[in-house]
A and B are shown apart, each in its own frame.
Chain A
Amino acid sequence: MAEGGLLAGYDSGAFFCELTSRRGGNGHEIATILSRLGAFDFTDLSRRSAEAERELYNLGITFTVYSERDSIDRILPFDVIPRIITAPEWKELEQGVIQRVQAINLFLDDLYHDRKILKDKLIPAELVLGNSNYRPEMEGLDVACGTYAHVSGIDLIRDQEGQFRVLEDNARTPSGVSYVVENRTLMMRTFPDLMADLKIRAVDDYGIRLHAAMAEIAPADHGDPQVVLLSPGIYNSAFFEHVFLAREMGVPLVEGRDLVVDDDKVFMRTTGGLERVHTIYRRLNDDFIDPEVFRPDSMLGVKGLMRAYRAGNVTLANAVGTGVADDKAVYAYMPRIIKYYLDQEPILPNVETRICREPEGLSYTLDHLDELVVKPVGESGGYGLLIGPKSTREEIEEFRSKLRHDPGNYISQPMIGLSVAPTLTGSGVAPRHVDLRPFAVTGKSTWVLPGGLTRVALKEGSIVVNSSQGGGSKDSWVLGG
C-alpha cells in the first residue's frame, strides 16, 4: 500500500492506518503527502525531528516533573509525521462531537434542575446522585446559555474497520489543546516542504474563539467583560497550557491569591487597585475553587467564589459539577442520553459497552470474560481492570467472583485494535497506535477546533498513549475539501 523510499517497508498489518488505509476523500492530497514523505531521507528527517524537540524545550513547551531536590522540564515527545484526517471524516467527527457536547449540557441542566431523566428511569438515580462529582451546590442554579461544559475534550479511537468511537468524555478541565496549536507552529517551521500547497485547516484561532465564548457567557451587566484564566500556579505540571491559554486569549493569568470577593462580586488585584472580573476560565478542580464551600484547606482557590457564582455576578467555565457527566459509569449511558434529549442516534458510537448492573449485560460479560476488558466504574479509573485476553485462567476466575459480588460497579468492552499512523522511530518509519482528542468550545453554540490532539504510543505494540507511559503527540491535519 505504502509507496517507496522511506515508506517502502511500512506495513500496518491488521490495523487501520491513518495514512495508508483506503477511505473517502482527499485522495489527491494523500498521494502527495505519501510521495513527499517517501522522498525524505531518514537522516534528514531524524535531524529535523531532533531540532523540533530542541525548540520545544527552549520555548518551554514542557511539563514539569518535581523530585525532592530538583525540577525537571520535560517535553511531550513530538513525532514529525502528521496524522491525516480527510474532509469527509472531519465533517462527521465535528457533527458527532457537537452532538455529544449538546447532550452533555442538556443532561447536566436536567440533573441540576428537574431530573426528568431520573424520573423516567433511563439512568439509575443513585449512579448520579451518589457520584462524588455530583455537586448539590449547583441545584437550581441557572447557568448562562444553559452551558456547563464550555470546554470539552472527547477522546476518540478508531477500530480495525476504520470506525471512530468515543472512548471517554472529558467535561471538567481537559488539557492538551496547547500542544495542538504549538505542534502546528513547529511543523510550519520545520516542514514547510511537506506542507507546501496543501490545504490544511488552521488551528491558530483557538484563543480568539475561546475568548469569544468566555465573553458570551459573562454576566449580562457588562459590555466589555473581563475574562481571566485561573491557574493553580507555576508549580502545576500543566502550567505551560495555562500560559498558552491566557496568552492566546490575551487575558491575565491569575492565581487564587490575585482574586478577592467583595459584596458577592469578584475582583482582581491590579497595580491600580481592585478590578472587576466577569468570567473565570478556571483550570482548578471543583474541590479547590472555594475553601468556604469545598475543601477548607485549599490555598489555591478564592474564598466566597461560589457565593459570587450563585449570585450571578461571575461565570465559571467549566461550570461546577460537570464531573458527573464524564464519569465512566455515565459513559455507558451516553447513547441513551443522546437519544433522550436530542431524539437522535449517536453520530459517534461508543465503544460497545455492556452495563453489568443490567442482567443481560452481566450474563454476556460472565460468558465472555476471556475476550473482554472489564472496568470498574468508580472514580478511580485504571485500577481493578481486567484485560481478558491478557489474563490467566486464575485471574479471570478471581475476577468472576468479584464481578458477581458487585455487578453494579462494572462495565465491559471488547478489546479494540486501535488504528495506527506512520511514526518515526530510531530505525525507520513504523506503525504506532494513536488516539484523537478533539476540543469543543461552547458559549451560545458549539465550535470544534479542526483536528485535535493526536497522541501516539511510541513503544512498539503499545496501546498506551499517555505521556507518563511513553506517549507522544503528532500534528493532526484536517485536509480541506
Chain B
Amino acid sequence: MGNLLARSAENMFWLGRYLERVENLARIVEITETFARDYSERNWLSVVQINADEKRFFEKYQCADAPSVVRFYLLDAENFTSVPASLQAAHQNARALRPVISIEMWEQVNVMRNHWREVAETDLAPPSLPRLCRKLREECQVNEGIVEGSLSHDETWHYYRLGKTLERADQITRLLDIKYHLLLPNVAAVGSALDASQWNALLRAAAGYQAFRRIYQGRMTPAAVAGFLIFSDSFPRSVSLCVRQMAWLLTQLRSRYRLSGGDAAEEKLDKIRAVLGDLTIEEVIAGGLHEFLDWLQGQFIALAADIREGFFVQCGDD
C-alpha cells in the first residue's frame, strides 16, 4: 500500500516507542527486584531517577521503597511513565493503526493491554513480581517478533523500527547515567563480590550480561561496562548500534521510498555517529560521562522533533 498517512506513520513510531519503554521498565524492575535487594533503597530510588520522575514521585510517596516504586510504575495509570499508561498509549496507537498493521499484531497488543488491566496489587508481591515483569518483557518481545514475521517491511515498518530504536538508545543512556554514578563509589572495592554483582545486574537490566562476557571475559571494570553499552558495534542495545540502525532506516525512507523529508534528522545522525566514532570510553570518562550522556539525550530529543517535522507534519501548502 503506497500513500501512507502521515498520522499513521506517527502512530507507528509511537507504538514502537511505547512498547520499547514498557520492555525497558519491565527489565529494570525485574532486575532491581531479583539482583539488587541488598542495596535496596538506593536501587529503587534509581528507578525513579532513570525516568526523571523524582518530583512527581515524591508528591505521592514518602520514600522510594520497593512497594512504592513498584506501585508507581506497574499499577498507577495516572503516572504517564507507568506500564499501564504506556500500554494504554500503545493500544491507542495500535487501534488507530488497525487497517495498516497485521491482524495478529493488533490482536497481540489488544490482549496484552486487556491482560494488564486485570493486574492487581496482590500480583506485585515479591514472589509473583519477577514473573509478572518477565511476562511483560516477553509480551513486548512477542510483539517485535510478530512485527518481523507478519508486517510488510514497507515504509510503515521503518517508522516502528525508528521509534523502537530511538527509545532504546535513549533508555540505555538514562540507565547508564544513573547506575554508573550510583555504583561508582564502590570502584575502590573492585573485585569484591558485591561490586561485581551490581555491575552484573546493570548488564542484565540491559540484556547485555552474556554479550559482555563473551567480549570482555574476566575483565570487568566500570569503564568496560560503560564502553560496551555505548560503543559496542554488535550489541543490539548499545547506543552506537542503535544510531547506526536509525541512520540506515532514514536512508531507506529517503532513497527507497523517495521521501523528501528528514534531511535535518539525517544530518543529526551523521553528527552523532561522527562523535561516537572519534571518541574512546576513556576520553568520554575523562571529559565527564554524565555530560556526554546528557548531550546524547539532548540529541535524541532533537532527533525525534526532526523526524516528526520531516515525515509526520504535512501542511496544506506542500
Which of A's residues lie within 8 Å of B, judged by CB? 57-60, 73, 226, 229, 233-234, 239-240, 243, 246-247, 250-255, 257-258, 260, 262, 268-275
Contact = CB atoms under 8 A, between A and B. Distances in A.
Contacts, number: 83
Contact of B92 (A59, A234, A253, A275): A234
Interface stretch (B51-59, B104-112, B168-176, B286-294): B104-112
B107 A60 contact: yes
A247 B3 CA distance: 14
B96 interface: yes
Given A58-B111, A60-B110, A262-B316, A270 B4 contact: yes
A260 B3 contact: no
A308 to B, nearest CB: 14
Contacts of B259: 271-272
18 contacts: A59-B107, A60-B95, A60-B107, A234-B95, A239-B95, A247-B99, A252-B4, A258-B7, A268-B3, A268-B5, A270-B5, A270-B6, A271-B4, A271-B155, A271-B312, A271-B314, A272-B257, A274-B316
A270 B3 contact: yes
A61 to B, nearest CB: 10
A250 B314 CA distance: 22
Nearest to B1: A250
A446 to B, nearest CB: 26
- Interface of chain A, helix or strand or loop or mixed? mixed
A435 to B, nearest CB: 29
Contact of A258 (B5, B111, B317): B5
B1 A271 contact: no
B311 A271 contact: yes
B9 interface: yes
A59 B103 contact: yes
B62 interface: no
A409 B211 CA distance: 79
B60 interface: no
Nearest to B96: A234
B261 interface: yes
Contacts of B96: 233-234
B318 A274 contact: yes
B110 A252 contact: no
Contacts of B92: 234
Interface in B229-273: 253, 257-261
B135 interface: no
Interface string B83-95: 0000000001001
B95 A271 contact: no
Contacts of B81: none
A274 B314 contact: yes
Nearest to A261: B316
B289 to A, nearest CB: 37
A438 B191 CA distance: 77
B76 to A, nearest CB: 14
A229 B100 CA distance: 13
A53 to B, nearest CB: 14
B5 A272 contact: no
The 9 nearest A-B residue pairs measured at CB: A269-B314, A246-B99, A243-B98, A274-B318, A273-B318, A253-B99, A247-B99, A269-B6, A60-B110
B260 A273 contact: yes
Contacts of A250: 1
Nearest to B117: A70
A270 B316 CA distance: 11
Contacts of B6: 258, 269-271
A125 B260 CA distance: 56
B106 A60 contact: yes
B8 interface: yes
Most-contacted residue by chain A among B1, B4, B5, B9 (CB, 10 A): B5
Most-contacted residue by chain A among B110, B111, B155, B314 (CB, 10 A): B314
Nearest to B156: A271
Nearest to B314: A269
Interface string B6-46: 11110000000000000000000000000000000000000
A271 B316 contact: no
Contacts of B107: 58-60
A268 B318 CA distance: 11
Nearest to B93: A234
B269 to A, nearest CB: 18
Contacts of B3: 226, 252, 268, 270, 272, 275
A296 B4 CA distance: 29
Interface in B89-140: 92, 95-96, 98-99, 103, 106-107, 110-111, 114
A239 B92 CA distance: 12
Contacts of A271: 4-6, 9, 155, 253, 257, 259, 261, 311-312, 314
Contacts of B5: 252, 254, 258, 268-271
Contacts of B106: 59-60
Given A260-B316, A272-B258, A59 B4 contact: no
B99 A255 contact: no
Contacts of B317: 262
A255 B318 CA distance: 19
Most-contacted residue by chain A among B95, B111, B257, B316 (CB, 10 A): B95
Contacts of B103: 59
Nearest to B92: A234
Given A58-B107, A252-B8, A253-B98, 10 more contacts: A59-B110, A60-B95, A252-B99, A254-B5, A258-B5, A268-B3, A269-B314, A271-B155, A271-B261, A273-B260
Contacts of A239: 95
Contact of B314 (A247, A252, A270): A270
Contact of B98 (A60, A254, A273): A60
A274 B110 CA distance: 32
Contacts of B110: 58-60
Contacts of B260: 272-273
B251 to A, nearest CB: 15
Nearest to A257: B7
Contact of A273 (B1, B95, B99, B314): B314
Nearest to A247: B99
Most-contacted residue by chain A among B1, B3, B114, B316 (CB, 10 A): B3
Nearest to A73: B114
Nearest to B311: A271
Contacts of B8: 252
A335 to B, nearest CB: 40
A202 to B, nearest CB: 19
A459 to B, nearest CB: 27
A58 B110 CA distance: 6
A222 to B, nearest CB: 14
Contact of A269 (B7, B99, B253, B257): B7
Given A239-B95, A250-B1, A255 B7 contact: yes
Contacts of B318: 273-274
Most-contacted residue by chain A among B6, B107, B259, B312 (CB, 10 A): B6
A274 B114 CA distance: 37
A299 to B, nearest CB: 15
B110 to A, nearest CB: 5
B91 to A, nearest CB: 9
Contacts of B155: 271
